Amino acid sequence: MFITPFNVCFRAFNKIVLNNFLREKIKFNAVQSALQHGLLAANTVIAGMKKCEFY
């Protein structure tokens, strides 16, 4: 894995966030966001499959 300025900044940012009192809230929001994106992706795939059936 390459060390880029972005990676270094991101790691520093992560340390600050993880030491933050908002840690649990951020984790919860990240999980919720991931679930929403997963559902959106699943719905998109299902919609695409339905379109393929009709055409």
Q: What's residue 13's pLDDT?
A: 75
In a domain, 40, yes or no: yes
In a domain, 28, yes or no: yes
In a domain, 10, yes or no: no
Q: What's residue 22's pLDDT?
A: 67
In a domain, 32, yes or no: yes
Domains contained in the chain, number: 1
In a domain, 16, yes or no: no
| Domain span including residue 48 | 21-55
d(CA 28, CA 38): 15
Report which of residues 20 and 50 the model is more confident about: 50
In a domain, 53, yes or no: yes
d(CA 30, CA 22): 12
In a domain, 4, yes or no: no
- What is the tens place of the pLDDT at every residue in 1-47? 566 667 777 777 777 766 776 667 777 888 888 888 888 888 888 88
